[in-house]
Amino acid sequence: MEKFLLFFCIAALAALLSFSKKATVHADMNSTRKNHVKGTVGAIVDYSSRIGKEEKVAMEMAIDDFYNYTNQSLILQLKNSQGDPIKAALAAKDLIDNQQVQAILGPQTWEEASLVAEVGNQSHVPVLSLADSTPSWATKRWPFLIQASPSQHVQMKAVAAIVQSWRWRRVILIYEDIDSAANGVIPHLSDALREVGAEITHFVALPPSASSSLSEELEKLKMQQCRVFVVHSSLPLARRLFETAKKMKMIEKDYVWITTDWTTSLVHSIVNEATAISSMQGVLGVKSYFPENGSQFQDFHTRFRIKFSTEHPEEENHEPGIFALQAYDATRAVALAMEETNKSSQELFDKILLTDFNGLSGKIQFTEQKLAPGNVFLIVNVIGKSYRELGFWSDGELGFSESIDGGAIYNASMEIMSQVFWPGGPRSTPRGWTVSTISNSLRVGVPNDSLTSRFVKVEYDHFTNNYSVTGFSIDVFKETVRLLPYSLPFDFVPFNGPYDELVKQIHLKNFDAVVGAAMIAKRCKYAEFAHPHTESGLVMVVPVQSQSSNKAWLFTKPFTKAMWILTAIINFYNGFVIWMIERNHCF
User: Which CATH number characterizes residue 489's domain?
Assistant: 3.40.190.10
pLDDT by residue (tens digit) across 302-318? 999 999 999 999 998 99
Q: Which of 25-34, 129-138, 272-281, 288-297 has the lowest mean pLDDT?
A: 25-34
Among 235, 259, 242, 231, smallest CA distance to 172 is for 231
Which long-range contacts link 364-368 to residues 24+ away (Cβ below 8 Å)? 364/329, 364/332, 364/333, 366/146, 368/139
Per-residue pLDDT at 405: 83
| Amino acid at residue number 349 | F
Per-residue pLDDT at 19: 34
Per-residue pLDDT at 275: 86
> Do 211 and 250 reside in the same domain of the chain?
yes
For residue 128, being part of any structural domain is answered with: yes
CA 326 to chain centroid, in Å, comes to 22
Better pLDDT: 424 or 283: 283
Per-residue pLDDT at 299: 95
pLDDT by residue (tens digit) across 401-433? 998 887 889 999 998 888 899 998 777 888 888
pLDDT of residue 15 exceeding 80, the answer is no
For residue 531, being part of any structural domain is answered with: no
pLDDT of residue 559 exceeding 90, the answer is no
> Do 179 and 73 reside in the same domain of the chain?
no
Percent helix, percent strand, percent coil in the chain, to nearest 5: 45, 20, 40
For residue 335, being part of any structural domain is answered with: yes
> Do 21 and 40 reside in the same domain of the chain?
no
**How much is the mean pLDDT over the chain?**
85
pLDDT of residue 509 exceeding 70, the answer is yes
Strand partners, 171: 200
Per-residue pLDDT at 20: 36
Which of 335, 354, 371 is the C-terminal boundary of a domain?
371
Q: What is the secondary structure of 315-379 as a DSSP string?
A: -S-----HHHHHHHHHHHHHHHHHHH--S-HHHHHHHHHT-EEE-SSSEEEEETTEEPPP-EEEE
For residue 437, being part of any structural domain is answered with: no
> Do 37 and 24 reside in the same domain of the chain?
no
pLDDT of residue 367 exceeding 80, the answer is yes
> Do 60 and 72 reside in the same domain of the chain?
yes
Better pLDDT: 167 or 106: 167
**Domain interval for residue 480:** 442-523
For residue 408, being part of any structural domain is answered with: yes
The three-class DSSP label of residue 460 is strand
For residue 541, being part of any structural domain is answered with: no
Per-residue pLDDT at 46: 94
> Do 379 and 367 reside in the same domain of the chain?
no
Q: pLDDT band for 26, please (50, 70, 90 cuts).
A: very low
Which of 361, 382, 416 is the C-terminal boundary of a domain?
416
Q: pLDDT band for 21, please (50, 70, 90 cuts).
A: very low
pLDDT by residue (tens digit) across 50-105? 999 999 999 999 999 999 999 889 999 999 999 899 999 999 999 999 999 999 99
Mean pLDDT of the 435-456 span: 76
> Do 290 and 379 reside in the same domain of the chain?
yes
For residue 11, being part of any structural domain is answered with: yes
Better pLDDT: 581 or 140: 140
Per-residue pLDDT at 23: 34
The pTM for the full model equals: 0.74
> How far is 513 from 524, CA to CA, in rounded Å?
13
> How far is 334 from 40, CA to CA, in rounded Å?
10
> What's the domain count of the chain?
5
> How far is 39 from 72, CA to CA, in rounded Å?
10
Mean pLDDT of the 123-147 span: 91
> What does the radius of gyration of the chain's CA atoms come to, in whole angstroms?
38
> Do 164 and 308 reside in the same domain of the chain?
yes
Per-residue pLDDT at 301: 95
Per-residue pLDDT at 585: 66
Per the CB < 8 A criterion, the answer to whether 361 and 329 are in contact is yes
Per-residue pLDDT at 482: 82
> Do 391 and 285 reside in the same domain of the chain?
yes
Whether the ω angle into residue 107 lies within 30 degrees of 0, i.e. cis, is: yes
> Do 63 and 2 reside in the same domain of the chain?
no
Per the CB < 8 A criterion, the answer to whether 284 and 381 are in contact is yes
Among 349, 347, 288, 351, smallest CA distance to 320 is for 288
Which of 505, 523, 541 is the C-terminal boundary of a domain?
523
Where residue 351 sits, what CATH number does that domain have?
A: 3.40.50.2300
pLDDT by residue (tens digit) across 187-209? 889 999 999 999 999 999 999 88
Among 275, 257, 225, 249, smallest CA distance to 421 is for 257
Share of the chain above pLDDT 90, in %: 47
> Do 330 and 203 reside in the same domain of the chain?
no
> Do 21 and 133 reside in the same domain of the chain?
no
For residue 533, being part of any structural domain is answered with: no
